[in-house]
Chains A and B, each alone.
Chain A
Amino acid sequence: MTIGLQMRMDRLFNRHGDGRAVCVAADHGYMSDVTANVINLRMITEAVIRGGADGILVSPGQALHLAPLFRGRDGPVLIVRADWMNMPRLGTSNVANAVPQRLLLNEKILTAEQALSLGASAITIYLFLGYSDQIEAEGVEKCAQFVTECRAVGLPCIIEPLAYGGQVTGANIVDVLTLGARIAVEIGADALKIPYTGDVESFRHLVSISDVPVLVLGGARSDNERDALELFAEALDAGSSGCLMGRNVTKSPDPAHMVNQLSKIAHQNWSVDEALRGEVWEYVRLKANPSKCTGCNLCVTGCVSTHDSRDFGNHLARLRIETGKKPGDHRVMFCTLCQKCIDVCPTQALRWHPDSGAIELLTERCDNCGKCVDICPTQVIVHSAEGIQIAASEQAPAKTLKWYPVVCDLCGGEPECARICPTGAIYIDERKAFDPQECKA
């Protein structure tokens, strides 16, 4: 390895001395739509630098325009995209903005020497597998030529294998990606940028046969920010050296925060939960936005599957979706912690759970009078399917209840209904330290 190559690899992967890099891909502008993340690139780049990005991938043109942002000895590493392709324009989502195209094309757009003169510490280049034999052969030739150029000037070459096209199926996509990784290494890649294979085991295998640092990419943005963080944590667990994540960062409402979370996971070994929360909450309150409810009932089945026998069903759910009067209208009926049931209970069998702040039933005090079931304004307290035997205690003799009221326990602080809801129609409105006095008020 030449000294220049060594220095640049270190600059990319050893800023934190842990061999890991959190990089942001922001090179979408000349391949797909002129979307918000492309238009606001300068602002987004400033944000991700604030968030602590180790490297940023941009097109050659943006490398010129954004050069000042990369200044300083602690500035982020500049990675330059060295080829162009039209894959995003073969899709459906681009008709409105970009001219769709029929055939996949992939062209080299600058030399390693030109990249170096732009100030790049690495270049990235695609290798397509699965579209056609011709595209694959041309891709190998292009990558090989690049590796030669990069060697001559000591520039790390990051090859990005992509499994794309009619030859790729759900049954072979992991094999195609793994093959692509190995081909890239055989060509002489210094590092890889590659999509996640979907699970830790197969990605660990891919990393293990790659011999060079592997950066995982993020793919299309999920509205659920946990997805990208989880994917990244899994990739690290599988042995990856970091990420080159694009849309999940650049399309995020808060790119700086997103990069910060990724950094915490990569460089400080935070868990996804720690990165998401940053603090511990004890008391949760649910809220609904019925206009977002599509009536899919995942919350109902999700609720049933986390209680009782934990089998999947719709009976004895602690919440309910009601169909409204107008077509498409739904009402989300759930425990609002109104405490009418606590107040009406003649035997003090219902109380605030001391930890989660949910309503809790003390079965030994319950006489199944049914008053709580009747008074519940959202009618989410229901009769249990089976009765219960209660052993004798100091206060009371043994007894058998034919049924008891089933109340929402907020899943002990992580309500499944809010977790599974795909649209945010039911969500966690607030989390804070639990104070029974405040609930009372």
Chain B
Amino acid sequence: MNLKQRGYCDRILRVDLTAGEIWTTPLPENVMPLILGGKGLGAWLLLMEQAAGTDPLGPDNHLIFHNGPLTGTTAPTAGRFGVTTRSPATGTYFDAYCGGDWGQMLKYAGYDALVVTGAANSPVMLVIDDDVVELHPADDLRGTSITAATERLKNIFGSEWQSLVIGPPGEQQRNIAGIFNESRALARGGVGAVMGSKQLKAIVVHGTGTVQVYDREAYDRALQLAFRAVRMSSKVTMLNKEGTANILEIIDVMGALPTRNFQRGRFAEAEEISGTAFREHNWKKDYACFGCPIGCGKWTAPLDDGTVIEGPEYESIFALGSNCAIGNRETIIKLNWYCDEYGMDTISVGGVIGFVMEMFQRGIITADELDGIEPHWGDANSALALVEKMALVEGCGVWLAQGVATIATQYPAAQPFAMHVKGLEMPAYHPSAAKGTALAYAISERGACHLRGAPLGELFSGAADPLSIVGKPQLFRDTQADTAAWDSASLCLFPGYGMSLKELWQLVAAATGFEYPKASDLQRLGERVSTLARLYNVREGHVRSQDTLPDRVLKQPMEGEGPGAGETVDLDPMLNEYYRIMGWDVNGVPIPERLQELGLAAVLDFMAG
């Protein structure tokens, strides 16, 4: 089987920063039809190549960048790429995805994945120019911001080169640090800290190669159907019109817009920070990542002080807005700017600020401990002061930038409202008002996450009653498998508001020529890939006890008004049913028979040693 004729480059680029060695290996050919690429490839490599108990910030951790068989073609959003590693924030398997223009450049340079191990002694950058791959010193980039580093690299290498860089929080191995391709980020879980621990400041790439698909005629037909499905979707149209923030108002109406550190599910100033309001007052130009027909990105008009960002998108508006009781668009833009400029995850930064504001409200933390900052709810100045401390990693910012879970270990009284799962700050859908989403937060292999199969359709497309737990484990199981297939093909999830798994399957089958007779084969592949991630976590001791939610969600009825008022999450019955559907035991461990069914017998043998 020649994988080069099936959408792949059949090359994994390997870099050992300790030894300074660079080499390539072929893809695991026999496994590719089982895992496809992207998330599947990342999970496979991490599980099979990394020893148990690896220190996330030690040289032995793997930092695996990956694209998929469709990457670099004209499939909708085929510039998407991801990273897989062990997260310092969660201690779990961790994958993050990003649009922008870096992913397809790695593919054109001739690589399906890049595996970085080891650690350099001083800052370095990895320079990939098709077949020529070198490590260059990056001492003079030390401490630079995302845009400063990116500009410098463009000047050195040329404007067609694409870069991934980390900012100061990444260099100093903070849990809220992401990895940035200009305005787009692999943001969550401290993946920037892992890159920082390796002293790898930047990865620049330039490629001139091409991607060949297996059956071009079938692929062209699949492209036609996929694009048509995307164009004929009112949800996609809304994404273009009002960005991801188009859902803010409906989430508020559904009582699921987390407000004041998840104390409530409705925000009085929701209208002020909606997509409609940003469109009317702040956005002036649409932006699309490579290969994207949607263009959910928005460039803002400059603020009075000249601040311009690409965004803010929905999650950032929640985290830096309603979660901190901030209803001022300009403040949100400013806070978002700090995150983009210095390389931090907006959800985690907003989670920390909201958490600190509530601790301050309850007298659990004082201004003295926060370098004199008094974080009152909704106060722009203190929020900006806190985010600046984190961005520059100074004063209280040093420990704040470690995230909510780490802060909470120092303040036990704040534990019940430390809004994270497995160490990852919670995203923008209040679990008490969306029970399927609550289950997804609890189960997700990377901690509280809305992008690992959370059935958000229960909130914004009426897929089911969001307040009921009936049928939610099955609903979550289906969306989880779908999402994992999507991430393994390495497309953005947003074309999925027009395309379904069926159109994705037609693309994947034509591009790879693998034996996938039915669309459901791809769903099965998704379940297999999620299970690989679960197996990694089980190996590291993450079982049922970690599949849980904060006390605020489990025990405290939601305050305020809206459909979610008075609601808590009855998690255990959903966990039981979900484990049963997945063929896991009561402790959340996949049983051998199920792994056999999923074609993972070899993994079983490997894990048995």
Query: Is the CB–CB distance between A91 and B235 below 8 Å?
Result: yes
Chain B residues with CB under 8 Å of A96's CB are: 249, 276
Chain A residues with CB under 8 Å of B474's CB are: 167
A199 to B228, CA, bound (A): 11
> A330 to chain B: closest CB distance in Å?
9
A315 to B458, CA, bound (A): 44
Query: Is the CB–CB distance between B502 and A174 below 8 Å?
Result: yes
Q: Using CB atoms, name the residue of chain B closest to A88.
A: B234
B462-498 interface with A by 8 A CB criterion = 462-467, 471, 474-475, 478-479, 482
Query: How many contacting A-B pairs (Cβ < 8 A)?
Result: 201
- Cβ-based interface call for B212 (8 A): yes
- Cβ-based interface call for B504 (8 A): yes
Q: Using CB atoms, name the residue of chain A closest to B284.
A: A328
Given A92-B460, A222-B228, A312-B213, A170:B234 Cβ within 8 A: no
Query: Is the CB–CB distance between B465 and A102 below 8 Å?
Result: yes
Query: Is the CB–CB distance between B463 and A423 below 8 Å?
Result: no
> A38 to chain B: closest CB distance in Å?
14
Q: Which of A18-26, A66-74, A299-307 contacts B (4 or more CB under 8 A)?
A: A299-307
Chain B residues with CB under 8 Å of A95's CB are: 249-250, 253
A288-346 interface with B by 8 A CB criterion = 291, 294-298, 301-302, 304-305, 309-315, 323, 327-329
Q: Using CB atoms, name the residue of chain B closest to A228.
A: B232
- The contact string, 1 if C-beta is below 8 Å from chain B, for chain A 414-440, is 000000101100000000000000000
Query: Is the CB–CB distance between B72 and A173 below 8 Å?
Result: no
Q: Which of B285-293, B344-352, B374-382 contacts A (4 or more CB under 8 A)?
A: B285-293
- Cβ-based interface call for B503 (8 A): yes
* Contact with A102, one of B159, B233, B563 (Cβ below 8 angstroms): B563
B270-300 interface with A by 8 A CB criterion = 276, 284-295, 297, 299
A230 to B286, CA, bound (A): 28
> B544 to chain A: closest CB distance in Å?
25
- Cβ-based interface call for A40 (8 A): no
Query: Is the CB–CB distance between B159 and A297 below 8 Å?
Result: no
Q: Using CB atoms, name the residue of chain B closest to A89.
A: B462
Chain B residues with CB under 8 Å of A102's CB are: 254, 462, 465-467, 563
- Cβ-based interface call for A171 (8 A): yes
A296 to B286, CA, bound (A): 10
Query: Is the CB–CB distance between A166 and B286 below 8 Å?
Result: no
> A47 to chain B: closest CB distance in Å?
21
Query: Is the CB–CB distance between B234 and A90 below 8 Å?
Result: no
Given A223-B231, A312-B73, A327-B299, A199:B464 Cβ within 8 A: no
A173 to B464, CA, bound (A): 16
Q: Using CB atoms, name the residue of chain A closest to B232.
A: A222
A310 to B210, CA, bound (A): 9
A323 to B150, CA, bound (A): 14
Secondary structure of the A side of the interface?
loop
> A305 to chain B: closest CB distance in Å?
6
- The contact string, 1 if C-beta is below 8 Å from chain B, for chain A 144-188, is 000000000000000000000111011111100000000000000
Interface residues on A, range: 35 or more
A171 to B249, CA, bound (A): 30
Query: Is the CB–CB distance between A169 and B501 below 8 Å?
Result: yes
Chain A residues with CB under 8 Å of B471's CB are: 132, 166-167
B191-235 interface with A by 8 A CB criterion = 207-213, 216, 224-225, 227-229, 231-235
* Contact with B73, one of A198, A221, A291, A301 (Cβ below 8 angstroms): A301
- Cβ-based interface call for A231 (8 A): yes
Query: Is the CB–CB distance between B461 and A90 below 8 Å?
Result: yes
* Contact with A295, one of B237, B288, B479 (Cβ below 8 angstroms): B288
* Contact with A169, one of B210, B292, B461, B478 (Cβ below 8 angstroms): B478
Given A95-B249, A173-B502, A323-B159, A296:B234 Cβ within 8 A: no
> B82 to chain A: closest CB distance in Å?
19
* Contact with A170, one of B458, B519, B563 (Cβ below 8 angstroms): B519
Given A102-B462, A230-B228, A423-B295, A294:B234 Cβ within 8 A: no
B385-419 interface with A by 8 A CB criterion = none
- The contact string, 1 if C-beta is below 8 Å from chain A, for chain B 34-51, is 000000000000000000
Q: Using CB atoms, name the residue of chain B closest to A308.
A: B210
Query: Is the CB–CB distance between B500 and A173 below 8 Å?
Result: yes
A310 to B217, CA, bound (A): 11
* Contact with B523, one of A166, A171, A221 (Cβ below 8 angstroms): A171
Given A296-B292, A312-B211, A329-B285, A93:B235 Cβ within 8 A: yes
Q: Using CB atoms, name the residue of chain A closest to B523.
A: A171
Query: Is the CB–CB distance between B308 and A296 below 8 Å?
Result: no
Query: Is the CB–CB distance between B482 and A315 below 8 Å?
Result: no
A198-247 interface with B by 8 A CB criterion = 198-199, 218-224, 227-228, 230-231
Chain A residues with CB under 8 Å of B504's CB are: 170
* Contact with B461, one of A91, A294, A296, A329 (Cβ below 8 angstroms): A91
A199 to B232, CA, bound (A): 14
Chain B residues with CB under 8 Å of A167's CB are: 471, 474-475
- Cβ-based interface call for A116 (8 A): no
Given A100-B253, A169-B482, A171-B519, A199:B293 Cβ within 8 A: no
A174 to B518, CA, bound (A): 11
- Cβ-based interface call for A403 (8 A): no
- Cβ-based interface call for B571 (8 A): no
Query: Is the CB–CB distance between B238 and A92 below 8 Å?
Result: yes
- Cβ-based interface call for A406 (8 A): no
- Cβ-based interface call for B163 (8 A): no
A11-65 interface with B by 8 A CB criterion = none
- Cβ-based interface call for B455 (8 A): yes
Given A221-B232, A302-B74, A294:B463 Cβ within 8 A: no
Chain A residues with CB under 8 Å of B293's CB are: 296, 298, 422
- Cβ-based interface call for A103 (8 A): yes
List 5 contacting pairs A-B, 8 Å CB cutoff, sorted by A. Answer: A93-B238, A170-B519, A174-B519, A298-B292, A311-B211
Measured CB to CB, the residues of A under 8 A from B are 87, 90-93, 95-96, 100-104, 131-132, 165-167, 169-174, 198-199, 218-224, 227-228, 230-231, 248, 291, 294-298, 301-302, 304-305, 309-315, 323, 327-329, 420, 422-423
Rank and list the top 8 A-B pairs by shortest CB-CB distance, nearest first: A170-B501, A90-B462, A170-B500, A328-B299, A422-B293, A294-B288, A311-B210, A313-B210
